[in-house]
Chains A and B, each alone.
Chain A
């Protein structure tokens, strides 16, 4: 990737010749894409606000109903799903992992990008290689380990293993290569700052945009984690995905409840996205995630 600096190019550039102008076909295609993107979510809300019979109703309902409050209280009170606790647990897990991933990955990524030390390249390659290790596939020994630590059914079982990720280290390194001017580090060193202080006072502010993106991505990823929590937590102390799975697994399928659960599990992410979404898009756009 060419190391383009972040410029204000995100603002629509002035039209430059007909070739780069968009025609009506473009708008139709884009609108269609957005429509398809949003439709399943809309359908989710439609069923979540109606009764169970709405699923089999033909022609299907197109507008949200008025049942949401009932469905909501029924979902939250569902004894198998433990939904309120699931939501709280997910918020805790996703927040802690996001903060810790951002901190540790920034540290490591900065070191790999900007500091000269023996074995740097080997370690960088090591990080890239470890990104390929599908930790989900090590469920069996992980369970045995969690038992040894007595973490079965405890939140640290879904937090500690994910407190720093290879992807995060790699991403921060890529960003730090271009986003942290070497002069900044040097001048801090000249001022007599230790490396740690340099990192916190100079490097971290420069990494901020990438940190926001990584934090968001990590938050979402851990909020959505499915396999591991189901294996290690169980319904007693669930994350929200485990709760959803509980709703889906009963011998009685109540779609309005399942869809309400799905809405509950998705709404917080959408909320976070609405608040910080700029960073996410901006971050992706600014090439923070570049190969």
Chain B
């Protein structure tokens, strides 16, 4: 068995050399003089690759981007590392759904006013700027993008169903959500072999957010899910879609859902601007030219968007704040829009030619800049509250979906939603 021991020995050798490698490969670098290295943590697709290169060339500061696949993962990491007091990057993305939760530990972040970010106020949409402040008035985050809202639809299916397929006409077709359900019924009565929508869950999300009011929690963070008009209205519309059997009953972002985009199993989906890139990637070449973008019923609304913050943990607050300001400044907003169609949260950039005249070849050359910017300028933000993200997950993605998929009736699903929301609210 000497072979065995020899094997062990070579393993040991490999291990020790490997250990050296990792010693070099881990840690955030920095702290050893010279130009600092920064780490920025984001999720999904922020479209920062090119911008970071520019930043490096301009400043000589190297930046590494750590990207988390999914928001849920990132939120978990963010809260864990915040409470642990270590492990975060020098700049972190904070998404709207968890912003208020994070505000609770406002001392864990640098006040960006201390680094000259106060001068950027006029650059942002008023509400986006406001929301970046903690209750005590510190500036915790600078706005990156906003989602905006539209509806993406399959032109070929609409034609087959005898419906108009031109984006203007389609937008006219569904001025209200009631109209939208009507169109859905008409579509489902045709002989097109596809569902009208993927699922009710995100449509109801869009309806709730159009209210410009509160959703699950009020300004005092009290749970108002049972009194909330916007939630009730969303469930009513979703209920009609369910009764008419208009959806493919898919859970958003599940494997089935992505496969369904590929195979064209449904005809419409709610589309914040960042969704465009995802449709393109999921549907691939097969779907090119088949999708188009129409206005959302009821007009306006927003889904998504983040802020960049600088955690107290960083060794280089100065440089980190500089990076955050660059990425959320005019150049950064425009770069992210061009890379990923992430909608700027700055009126000036929204009205710039680069955004206004931007068309998307994959979506039949739809003037996506114009479509989204219009809604974004008029946007009334919705108040979320602490624990919003978790409540939204359990209310929409779980309770509502279980009704849609026939696991529960409205009453049972509603009871589940309220119970789960109470649970989450109790902890906060």
Contact = CB atoms under 8 A, between A and B. Distances in A.
A and B touch in the complex (CB under 8 A): yes
Contact of B262 (A56, A91, A95, A236): A56
Nearest to A51: B284
B263 interface: yes
A168 interface: no
B259 A55 contact: yes
Nearest to B70: A249
A152 B69 contact: no
Interface string A237-270: 1000000001111111101000000000000000
A250 B19 CA distance: 30
A206 to B, nearest CB: 11
A52 B84 contact: no
B73 interface: yes
B262 A53 contact: yes
B27 A92 contact: no
Contacts, number: 97
Question: Which of A91, A208, A252 is packed against the most chain B CB atoms within 10 Å?
Answer: A252
B255 interface: yes
Contact of B263 (A56, A89, A95, A96): A56
Contacts of A56: 259, 262-263
Interface in B32-52: 39, 44-45
Contact of B86 (A79, A99, A147): A147
A92 B19 contact: yes
B87 interface: yes
A253 B70 contact: no
Contacts of B1: 208
Contact of B4 (A208, A252, A253, A255): A208
Interface stretch (B9-17, B217-225, B364-372, B404-412): B9-17
A95 B87 contact: no
Interface residues of A, number: 38
A250 B258 CA distance: 11
A53 B85 contact: no
Nearest to B260: A56
A154 interface: yes
Contacts of A144: 84
Question: Which of A55, A234, A250 is packed against the most chain B CB atoms within 10 Å?
Answer: A250
A85 interface: yes
B284 A155 contact: no
A85 B258 contact: no
Nearest to A246: B69
Nearest to B71: A251
B259 A250 contact: no
A99 B66 contact: no
B77 interface: yes
A145 B10 CA distance: 33
B69 A95 contact: no
B26 A253 contact: no
16 contacts: A80-B69, A88-B21, A95-B15, A99-B11, A144-B84, A152-B84, A153-B87, A155-B22, A155-B26, A234-B66, A235-B67, A236-B39, A237-B22, A251-B44, A251-B70, A251-B278
Interface of B: 1, 4, 8, 11-12, 14-15, 18-19, 21-22, 25-27, 39, 44-45, 65-70, 73, 77, 80-81, 84-87, 253, 255, 258-259, 262-263, 278, 281-282, 284, 286
Interface of A: 52-53, 55-56, 79-80, 85, 88-89, 91-92, 95-96, 99, 143-144, 147, 150, 152-155, 208, 212, 231, 234-237, 246-253, 255
Q: Which 9 A-B pairs have the closest CB atoms?
A: A249-B69, A253-B258, A250-B69, A152-B87, A92-B18, A252-B281, A147-B84, A249-B70, A237-B26
